[in-house]
Amino acid sequence: MNTALSQHVLVLNRLWQAVNVCTAKRALTLLFQGHAQVVLNEPDGSFRTYSFSEWRDVPAGTHEETVHTISFRIRVPRVILLFAFDRMPKKEVKFTRHNIFERDRNMCQYCGGTFDRKDLNLDHVIPRDRGGPTSWENIVCSCIECNTIKANRTPTEAGMHLIRKPKRPKWRPFVQINFTLNHHDSWKHFIDLAYWNVELGEDVQA
Ligand SMILES: [Zn+2]
């Protein structure tokens, strides 16, 4: 394969979240088929998107890699934005201890303090023996002190208030990016955003 065609391209979903890495060959196919646009960093720090025909007309700098076809020469994209989610595997946010800590940002949902993970418990808002499920909507991070005060009571009974109502997170985990790949500078913005969505696969024991 042409080495330019095997370059790694970062794939963003419609919400501009990094979801995958593909080859330049795949990226150019998605672009040509109208399923994706190229994302380019502008000198002012913003991002601009290009359709296939617009991208074909973007001149490549001398240091840019290009692919030659019979009729034209096209620059290798570094980042593409998909129009549809279904071009790449979808993933539910796994209900894991790690993801609960991520959702609650290591903050006790009763007192609002931020703690090390080792100093946080996962609390059933409605206690388990009162029929409270082990679910996104009924599990929150709680510091040891709040957990002790609350004991086996509902927040109302304990006179405590949740900082926010627990919900299933809307973000999708960052699933298939191999962090050991050499990252192009243009990936940095999206990789940094995606860092917090890494799924570590620690399963919560119900
Ligand atoms: Zn607390």
The alpha carbon dihedral of 62, 68, 72, 74 has a sign of negative
Confidence of residue 51 (pLDDT cuts 50, 70, 90): very high
What is the distance in A from the centroid of ligand 1 to the CA of 105?
Answer: 13
What is the distance in A from the centroid of ligand 1 to the CA of 112?
Answer: 6
- Based on the number of CB atoms within 10 Å of its own CB, is 75 exposed (0-12), middle (13-18) or buried (19 or more)? buried
What is the distance in A from the centroid of ligand 1 to the CA of 139?
Answer: 14
What is the distance in A from the centroid of ligand 1 to the CA of 143?
Answer: 4
- Based on the number of CB atoms within 10 Å of its own CB, is 46 exposed (0-12), middle (13-18) or buried (19 or more)? exposed
Do residues 76 and 7 make contact, with C-beta atoms less than 8 angstroms apart? yes
What is the distance in A from the centroid of ligand 1 to the CA of 46?
Answer: 40
Note the pLDDT tens digit of each residue in 53-94.
Answer: 999 888 887 777 888 776 777 888 999 998 865 545 555 677
Residue 183: pLDDT above 70?
no
What is the distance in A from the centroid of ligand 1 to the CA of 190?
Answer: 33
Note the pLDDT tens digit of each residue in 1-17.
Answer: 568 888 888 888 887 87
Q: What is the pTM of this model?
A: 0.49
Note the pLDDT tens digit of each residue in 113-123.
Answer: 999 999 999 99
What is the distance in A from the centroid of ligand 1 to the CA of 182?
Answer: 41
179/75 Cα distance (integer angstroms): 24
| Ion ligand 1, residues whose Cβ is below 5 A away | 108, 110-111, 143, 146
94 token code pair: 């796994």
What is the distance in A from the centroid of ligand 1 to the CA of 166?
Answer: 15
Closest CA to 78 of 196, 181, 180: 181
Neighbours of 188 (CB within 10 A): 12
Do residues 109 and 149 make contact, with C-beta atoms less than 8 angstroms apart? no
Closest CA to 191 of 172, 170, 177: 177
Residue 160: pLDDT above 70?
yes
CA atoms within 13 A on the CB side of 150: 25
What is the distance in A from the centroid of ligand 1 to the CA of 120?
Answer: 9
Q: Kindly list the distances between the CA atom of residue 105 and the CA atoms of 108, 114, 145, 184, in Å, as whole numbers in the listed order.
A: 9, 8, 18, 29
Residue 16, sorted as left (phi over 0), alpha (psi -120 to 50) or beta, turns out to be left
What is the distance in A from the centroid of ligand 1 to the CA of 167?
Answer: 19
75/50 Cα distance (integer angstroms): 12
What is the distance in A from the centroid of ligand 1 to the CA of 146?
Answer: 4
What is the distance in A from the centroid of ligand 1 to the CA of 84?
Answer: 41
What is the distance in A from the centroid of ligand 1 to the CA of 169?
Answer: 21
